[in-house]
Structure 1
Amino acid sequence: MKLVLAIAATLGLAIAATTPAPAAEEPPEKTYTVVRQYESFEVRDYAPYLVAEVTLPGNADEAGNQGFRILAGYIFGKNKGERQIAMTTPVTQSAEPKTIAMTTPVTQAASEGGFVIQFKMPAEFTLDTLPEPLDARIKFRGTPAQRFAVIRYSGRWSDSNYNEHLDLLRKGIEAAGLRSSGSPIYARYNAPFVPWFMRRNEIWLKID
């Protein structure tokens, strides 16, 4: 099974060689609360938040790489007003141009139209105040409050590593008497240059 990522995973996807890819930190604002900790995973409640997303056909790797470049182009200034969006946190602002910190993770998930790649937008923005993208494929939307079972692991971004932990998550959910639905969400928190043993990866499954 190819890697499936949702909305989002941040800097885990490859970016064009001409584009810098500094590491992004987790947002200072708390976007979730841990409901319960199990042996191999935890259940989190996520608050509503805004995402910029693009849906692309193809396999997971191709869609993920292309989607990352499209969204990275948007935050690097390919928007009306050419506002730069910094890939570090906390959120910082200057008089002109305004800077927007990119938050993690970047996620990717399967959809009927291919794969949905998303960047979470900083909490200070609304649908009315986000810079308008020049690429019509980029869409904004608010995600509702949701509950996820999440497994966290390190290591390489390989199918085998992903599948091993997805299987572990599903078995843990079943053993806990919970029910999940929807496609797995694959979240990555680090830049490609971060050593594999220091990377933070997660898989999310929605809990009914």
Structure 2
Amino acid sequence: MAIEEPSYEVTRTYPMFELRQYAPYLVAETEVGDDFDEAGNRAFRILADYIFGNNRSKTKMEMTAPVNQRPAEDQGEKIRMTAPVSQQAGEGKSGTYVVSFVMPSGYSLETLPTPNDSRVNLREEPAKLMAVRRYSGRWTRKNYEENLGVLRLAIREAGLETTGEPVYARYNPPFTPWFMRRNEVMLEIDPEVRP
């Protein structure tokens, strides 16, 4: 049985990644504060509850793919740069991540069921050009970071520049054997800087 995914066109293939032009699509998302591995699990339960009927119209929706996870962007006030710049390791400190489910394509923002849970936000993901590296394996931070490093290096070598936070995409249910899982790491490409 095929699972719906966002629509995209592969515009160019590189040895370590491909460039995809994504059309706009809708997401249901939630922000959770936790470590990388646990954030996805906590958020999944919140979002699954929404699509399985915890909404005002009690509408059940089909599961789509992927489940996306990215670091939450700081939307705080911008302050003029000063010196020195200090860095301290966040030993044991949890991060904040935004996890999203792609909504089925038959909906618009106006027709999506209204969530009962205030932690669920509905929005449109705009069209964008993404560099995407596909890999298999376990859903671990180590596996993700290794592939993110390969992707960043390959993008630099291709003369492209990125914008925004990396996105971690998972396509399979948890019962899928680890060696058969489809995972992707994605970085948005700045359309103004192309070789």
The answer to whether TM tops 0.5 is yes
Indicate which of 53, 56, 61 corresponds to 1:77: 53
The answer to whether the 8 Å contact 1:156/1:197 transfers is yes
Displacement, 1:58? 2.2
Displacement, 1:81? 2.1
CA distance in 2, matches of 1:83, 1:157: 30
The answer to whether the 8 Å contact 1:25/1:103 transfers is no
Letter of the 2:141 partner, please give it: D
The answer to whether the 8 Å contact 1:79/1:131 transfers is yes
**Which residue of 2 is the match for residue 27 of structure 1?**
4
Displacement, 1:160? 2.2
The answer to whether the 8 Å contact 2:135/2:183 transfers is yes
CA distance in 1, matches of 2:23, 2:146: 28
**Which residue of 2 is the match for residue 117 of structure 1?**
99
Of 42-51 and 60-69, deviating more is 60-69
Q: Secondary structure at the match of 2:40?
A: helix
Q: Secondary structure at the match of 1:34?
A: strand
**Which residue of 2 is the match for residue 193 of structure 1?**
175
Q: Deviations over 1:85-117 (max 9, x none)?
A: 2xxxxxxxxxxxxxxx22100101101462111
1:136 has 2:113 as partner: no
Indicate which of 180, 194, 203 corresponds to 2:162: 180
CA distance in 2, matches of 1:154, 1:143: 25
1:104 has 2:65 as partner: yes
CA distance in 2, matches of 1:77, 1:26: 19
Of 158-167 and 114-123, deviating more is 158-167
Identity of aligned residues (%): 52
CA distance in 1, matches of 2:101, 2:141: 22
CA distance in 2, matches of 1:155, 1:78: 32
Displacement, 1:66? 1.3
**Which residue of 1 is the match for residue 140 of structure 2?**
158
Displacement, 1:25? 4.0
Displacement, 1:77? 1.0
Q: Secondary structure at the match of 2:34?
A: coil
Letter of the 1:134 partner, please give it: N
The answer to whether the 8 Å contact 1:108/1:116 transfers is yes
CA distance in 2, matches of 1:179, 1:25: 34
Over the residues paired in the alignment, what is the CA RMSD in angstroms?
Answer: 1.5
Unaligned runs of 5+ in 2: 75-95, 191-195
Greater relative contact order: 1 or 2 (C-alpha under 8 angstroms, separation 6 or more)? 1
Q: How many residues align?
A: 169
